[in-house]
Chain A
Amino acid sequence: MSRIGVFVCHCGLNIAKTVRVSELAEFAATLPDVVVAKDYKFMCSTPGQEMIANDIKEHRLDRVIVTACSPLMHEQTFRKVLAASGLNQYLLSIVNIREQVSWVTHDIEEGTAKSKALLNGAVNRARLLAPLTSRVIDVNPDVMVVGAGIAGIQAALELANTGKKVYLVEKNSTIGGHMAQFDKTFPTLDCSACILTPKMDNVLQHKNITLMTSCEVTEVKGFVGNFDITVKQKARYVDHDKCNACLACTEKCPGKGVSEWDEGLVKRKAIYIPFPQAVPQKPVIDRDACTYFIKGKCRLCEKVCEQKAIDFEQQDTSTTVKVGAVIVATGYDLMDTKPLLQYGYGRYPGVYNALEVERLFNSAGPTGGKVTLRDGREPQAIAIFHCIGSRDKNNYEHCSRVCCMYSLKFAHLFKEKTSADVYQFYIDMRAAGKGYEEFYNRIIEEDVKFIRGKGARVAESADEPGRLIVEAEDTITGKFIKLPVDMVVLSPAMKPRADSKDIARLFNLSTDKYGFFMERHPKLAPLSTMSEGIFIAGVCQSPKDIPDTVAQAYGAAAEALTIVVKDKLELEATTAMVNPASCCACLNCVRVCPYGAPFFNEQKGVSEINEALCKGCGLCASVCPSSAIIARHFTNDQVLAEMEGLMEF
């Protein structure tokens, strides 16, 4: 037997105009188990709340029904009233007779009748409500940042400056990401290294940052506040604790590897640091290029190392790190343009992709900052093709957002460093950003030729060996352009890292069809994900420029902080649980849960639910054929009882 109190709100005339509120209260009083039923002008007002609190005490109520506005409005208000009166807050039921009754009808008969039905349903359900307790958990105050490009670096520094301990995990042997490859940044044309390397150095020096280069996350367990993350340290074959960065080894090494840093334009040693300002500035050995690993002898580096830091026996190792929140900032790759045969990338030496050109401009790059072709000539005419693989149904449908601007930057740098004629082949010029339109105007005035038409084909010139012919329509004149050039620059689509789907699986993120991570809400929660405690920043979410990436990094740091500043975290109480006696081990719950909360307990032979991961959607309960799963606060019984009540009147 329950003792239910029903409180009907007039909401001034908002409800009372089209629902006979006193009649509703009288009706409530006739329902079984209802021991008190009242109506009042404003139930959410202080006197209204006090009335409920008093009645809870006076009538020893164990269930409260407030018949008023939408639960999305005042459920929390009335829950607090219950809690303050010593009643479990989940023993409250709200009947929405304002938004879903009085405001959507003019007919007081209809309004009253519908309200009665809704109230009857609520009383039915209220009898079956159970007290629920929220679980409170301790929060680990540390944060992990995955990916140490500009986004990861910025986020790590922000968090570390607040005093939080940060693990910064980077797959490569140095931090810096793509930004460290650039020479200048648009639209201000400031030097990329000048603004980035001080930050890289800060990371290295910061006492709160544990830098983990040549590392990859291999397993993520736990949940918000308490993640256990396994990180694999790939063998570097150099003991960085002993190495004093004299780099004598790199001078002597006879091995030759392809320089990833220089986009394969040049070779590097087998023991190497990617570039002079790399952080950490200590070498690693590329196993695939090392003479010793290939042929079984050499070990020259070992001989010249006074610190005895070379260790050919080094193995991959794993460590587990405990953190309360994670920021994923894994960045992007450029699309491989080789399959687009019409552009001849990889076939004609004069065709470059954008990152290769970034390296050509860079004074630390393969040409020392001189723009020369692979055969050493200076180009006389250069075509820049926009939208290669972007805005393209056959490849990537999205606009890569930065190509227009960096293509303009290229044009400027070409003009600055060569005497070449520069042509831009574009579809639309997108210059929406602070100072971007101005930058566009500046480049126009530098006498760059703009051809409004997408580059269609690159072919070898029949007449002049080594030259290329680019073909496109100038859609403004409708003329077919055949233009001899020496260099073609492709601005390819930005795509998520090749392993983004693996990262998504590890952290239980969802991705779009290309593998960009999905944010929780495109406008209101752009940095959170559907996985509580995991945040995203930078291009791994969608293509964006450096200013936006940095802004996101600050935001993600703040988001992570909202979790790790607290000692304790209250978890959702309306979670699901398994009644082991009814579980038939069909594993449907395990299959469907978007959060990986249910798991199969091999020993007991039944499914169980990790309530810390559960968000209370109830999907598992509906796919459970033997009704073994109890979706708290929305149990089968409660829903059926409510339905029964609704259909009775």
Chain B
Amino acid sequence: MNWMTFSGPEIFYFGASLWFLLLTFTAKPESVNSGARGRTYLTAIFLASAGILVCLASVHAEGWLFIKAYKVDPFSQVFKTLLSLGLFLIVCICGQMTDIDERRHNEFFFLLFSCTLALMLLVSADHLLSIYLSLELSSYSLYILVALRKRRAQGLEAGIKYFLIGSFASAIMLFGMALLYSTCATAYLPEMAKVLPGMIGAPAVVTGLVFTLGGFFFKLAVFPFHSWAPDTYQGAPNQVAAYIATASKVAGIAIILRVLASAGQGSPYLVHILVILSVVSMTLGNLAAIAQKDLKRLLAFSTVAHSGYVLLAVLVMDASAYSAAIFYAVAILVMKFTAFMVVVELAPDGRNLRIDELAGLHRRSPLMALALLVALFSLAGIPPTIGFTGKFLIFTAAIQKGYVALVIIAMINVVISLYYYLLVIKAAYLLEPARTLPPLVLSFPKRLLAGLSIVTIVVAGFCPYWLIQIAQAAAQPLILGR
């Protein structure tokens, strides 16, 4: 068994987090100078970029590990690549983490890498237990990451809320898993996929399934498990919020797809629940976002809304919907990252960014303003952006299944969402600051990053075929797994 070759990413990230753990032990608390910090950062960048290569190298791997509890297939490998990409992007904007105690930077990276590792395990998990374990592992890293903030009051509150709601949700999920296990007589997803469609109507199965999904809904911030999102985004350090909004969401989409793909589509009740939750999530997220003053909190609510769109894809449950959801995961990764990048760059001291603080951005940094504009339009789903193409694919899949009304509701939500995105854009392009602020000086790599983000969003929106093919390839195992 050549498990070394096809579990390369996991091993690599395990090693990387171990490396940071060791650094944590060796570093002397008193003597953190800028050189050491720079070294830590460079290491992180190096490891993160190397991680992408490792993931790419093993992208075609396929097989099982741990008595088939762990499945390596194109689906998981694509998501692992996405996660490594997400991590790399987040590390890129961690250059000036003034909001986290400098002595804790090693721990920060340790938690970040181990969280990524956990998410990678999650996307490969094929057994309830492995799912549960990796989910918990990623959550615990994040709880601490959130609480790490120097602005303790905010960080702690966010951490507490995240932790309480998260562990509540995972308790529910665990109970659901227990029910599923007890009715299916197996904890392997492929085995469950064989028996579940036949007994999908049974109360215990439905309860178990819905409870289990609750844990994933928490990851994805779907109503009613979304309530941590606004506070956590707002209270967490900007970089951590960015990580939660991107990598964590991507993994959430992955696991929800894998579990529901094995549940199959036999139950109208399940679909009804998903429809309800999807509609409520997007409506509630979009409505609540209108009233926000804090940019991160606004993005949190927009995340809730986007979970609603993802659920729309999930509930359709066919090949095109799965690939649409995978495509949308990519879209979320890119556009959320771009938006958060602007937040991070505009708040070098790590404070929260109020929307009216964006005033005059178009003059201070036209590039950042443009990045924000493109990212927000992409989030709103205006072509030619990746966000639009993602929505288009989802809607296509949904309408093919006959959910026209649902798509119209989603489009109305898009209109509502554009309203608050426009408010942000207005602040960036229209308002003038009370006192003139100095131009924002960006280093070349940052400009390159911003430029690449913009180009990616637009080009992937306009010429999405390559990405769609990848998404289709990744969705293949979900269909065959049935």
Answer yes or no: are A and B bound together in one complex: no
Interface residues of B (CB under 8 A from A): none
Interface residues of A (CB under 8 A from B): none
